Amino acid sequence: MKIGLVGYGTGGRHFHAPFIDAAKGVSLAGVVARAPATIDKVKADYPNVPIYKSLSELIEAGNIDAVTISTPPATRKALVLEAISAKLHVIADKPFAPDQSGARLLADAAKDKGVTLGVFHNRRFDSDVVTLKHVLNEKKLGKIWRLHTRFDLDDPDTLELGPDGGLLRDLGSHMVDQTLYLLGPATMVFAQMDTVDTVEGRTNAGFNLVLRHENGARSHISASKLNHQVAKEFIVYGEKGSYVSQFTDVQANAIFAGERPIDTPESWGMEAPVRWPVLKTHAGLESVTCLPGRYQDYYEQFAQAVRHNTPPPVTPEEAIEVIKVLDAAMISAEKNCMVPVYR
């Protein structure tokens, strides 16, 4: 599958291009970039990959099967619709629409054109999530009572400012998707926000969410960027015991250190053994073997979905459920009450 990449900022350069390059059965066939400095980065990283000034120019070249849209959220909707109109399969960065109605519009447009639309919730492919999903599937904890997930970053410069930005719709999109993936649909949300006033407007810089799930479980989701904390943690309580993982952001750390998944495919995305999860049950304490996290698996699964006309690794419907939770969380924080997640 030949994939074009629209946007070569932090997302395109660090979280898409290296994993397209590493994915089997997939190739990077073109990049849309306009700023001279951005073009220079593409040439340095991928000297043999064509560069285009616009999505329209990339489409007209006629050498791609699918396109990834990794541009700022305000531009994303129009570009996704343009690609769908050209009958291209599309991967859209999260959140793939500003609201539920916009998301439904994109999903319906893809269905009408008979193309596959996927949403890049790549953090389902983090090592800690892959490992925890395996443990939950094995039923070693029995019925799950509650899950706590925390992701703190000491990274103030990347906070998206203003009322349309904020940490909830950025990192929170990933964390809510992970939680729904692990525990299933949510029915109620209670949210508290930590906000700061900036020249761009009031911005949520941290959050704490409590979700009630259809299966009776509860999840507690929290994150921050301005509090000089660094943590990536899951704690799960079930009727048969508990589970704790305290990982690092393995893949992101490696990418920003200049490493590439195509160079170390066997060891990519593996957490150090000292950080492997611990499962505690009546049988005693068990160190759980860490499973690798591989964002390239998203691209391989997307390509397979297109070839076999099966659902992509993250469907628009699943991404819409995330947006519903985020919308309910914003209302909850404003009104200081539990808010239902309407289906």
Per-residue confidence (pLDDT) for residue 343, from 0 to 100: 67
- Stretch 86-90: mean pLDDT: 98
With 0-12 CB in 10 A as exposed, 13-18 as middle and 19+ as buried, what is 267? exposed
Write the pLDDT tens digit of every residue in 171-211.
999 999 999 999 999 999 999 999 999 888 899 999 999 99
Nearest residue to 314 (alpha-carbon basis) of 171, 123, 165: 123
Distance CA 117, CA 80 (A): 9
47-81 pLDDT, tens per residue? 999 999 999 999 999 999 999 999 987 888 999 99
| CA angle (162 as vertex; 158, 163 as ends), nearest 5 | 125
- Nearby residues of 92 by Cβ (< 8 Å), 6 or more positions away: 68, 69, 76, 80, 106, 117, 118, 119, 120
Q: Mind listing the pLDDT tens digit for each residue in 115-142?
A: 999 999 999 999 999 999 999 999 999 9
**Residues present in the chain in total:** 343
Burial of 258 (0-12, 13-18, 19+ CB in 10 A): exposed
Measured between alpha carbons, how far is 308 from 302 in angstroms, rounded to an integer? 10
Q: Give per-residue pLDDT as tens, 220-269.
A: 999 999 999 999 999 999 999 999 999 999 999 999 999 999 999 999 99
Tokens representing residue 123 in the block: 């953090």
pTM (predicted TM-score): 0.95
pLDDT at 95: 81
Average pLDDT over the chain, rounded to an integer: 95
- 8 A C-beta contact, residue 116 and residue 122: no
What percentage of residues in the chain have a pLDDT greater than 70? 100
**What is the model's pLDDT at position 161?**
86
Which residues is 67 bridged to in the sheet? 4, 90
For the chain, list the domains and their CATH numbers. 2-120+300-310 (3.40.50.720), 123-294 (3.30.360.10)
